[in-house]
Amino acid sequence: MAVMDLNPLWISLKTALVATAITFILGIIIARWMARHEFKGKSLLDGIFILPLVLPPTVVGFILLWILGRNGWLGSLFFEIGRPVVFSWSATVIAAAVVSFPLMYQTARGAFEQIDANIEDAARTLGASEWTIFWRVTIPMAWPGIAAGTILAFARSLGEFGATLMLAGNIPGRTQTIPVAIYFLVGGGRQQQAVIWVLVILLISLASIVALNYWKKYQRRFSSHPVREVTADS
């Protein structure tokens, strides 16, 4: 009996975790800025951030390939320094991060927009710095939305296929994620192995959702009084 190759699992988990970390940081920063600022062209910029969510993954992959490919305006720079992005593990992370970013951005922005600005102002009157307000008032109050966006981004990263296949290809042990492996296993008539990977990705996604629900319940205890103990530089 042949031993099943577990590389798609490790590659998928590593890719999803790194991509989620990237979208988590960028999503919070950009969502917070967009929620608190009004400027000309804001609707257009917002549309650009959300665009990967509505475009077919293959179109997103083509755009990324156009930018990061050997003849792309950015990809050519990486080729010159001997660090090509296309058909590398970095390409799987980039593809996953781009397609999952809108989910993190949208939910985080919605959470920030629902926060009463008067609460943050109250913290300022107590002498709290902007950094303290952000971490001890804004983030706790927006956490349910941020947490939801994080799990959605992780799930989307874990299941990304189209853009990954176009930008990173199908290189076993290097860029072959679980969705890509499933596609080629089915195409090769190996249904049983494909079913195993389907079950694996279902279990990981379900476990993540259950863990998130427990975490959100725990965090609600600390968000009922968001301005407590936020005195100057506390």
Tokens 């042949």 belong to residue: 2
Asked whether the predicted pLDDT for residue 227 surpasses 50, the reply is no
Tell me which of 165 and 232 has the higher pLDDT: 165
Per-residue pLDDT, averaged over 58-67, amounts to 93
Provide the phi-psi class of 184: left if phi over 0, else alpha when psi is between -120 and 50, else beta: alpha
C-alpha distances out from residue 76 to 66, 67, 167, Å: 10, 9, 15
Q: Say yes or no to pLDDT of 22 above 80.
A: yes
Residue type at position 157 = S
The token duo for 51 is 């665009």
CATH number for the region 7-220 comes to: 1.10.3720.10
Confidence of residue 2 (pLDDT cuts 50, 70, 90): low
Q: Is 175 exposed, middle or buried (0-12, 13-18, 19+ CB in 10 A)?
A: buried
Pair 178, 171: CB distance under 8 Å: no
- Alpha carbons 184 and 69: distance in angstroms, whole number: 24
For residue range 9-19, list pLDDT tens digits in order: 999 999 999 99
- The answer on pLDDT for 186 being more than 80 is yes
Q: What is the CA radius of gyration of the chain?
A: 21
Helix (H) or strand (E) holding 226: none
Confidence of residue 1 (pLDDT cuts 50, 70, 90): very low
DSSP code, position 137: I
**Predicted confidence band at 75 (pLDDT cuts at 50, 70, 90)?**
confident
pLDDT at position 51: 94
Domain locations along the chain: 7-220
Taking each continuous run of H as one helix and of E as one strand, the counts in the chain are 11, 0
Please compute the mean of the pLDDT values over residues 70-89 and round it to a whole number: 87
Going by pLDDT thresholds of 50, 70 and 90, the confidence category of residue 184 is: very high
Give yes or no for residue 226 having a pLDDT over 50: no
Across residues 53-76, what is the average pLDDT?
90
Mean pLDDT, to the nearest integer, of 16-24?
Answer: 96
Query: What does the pLDDT average to over 34-38?
Result: 88
State what percent of residues in the chain have pLDDT above 70: 91
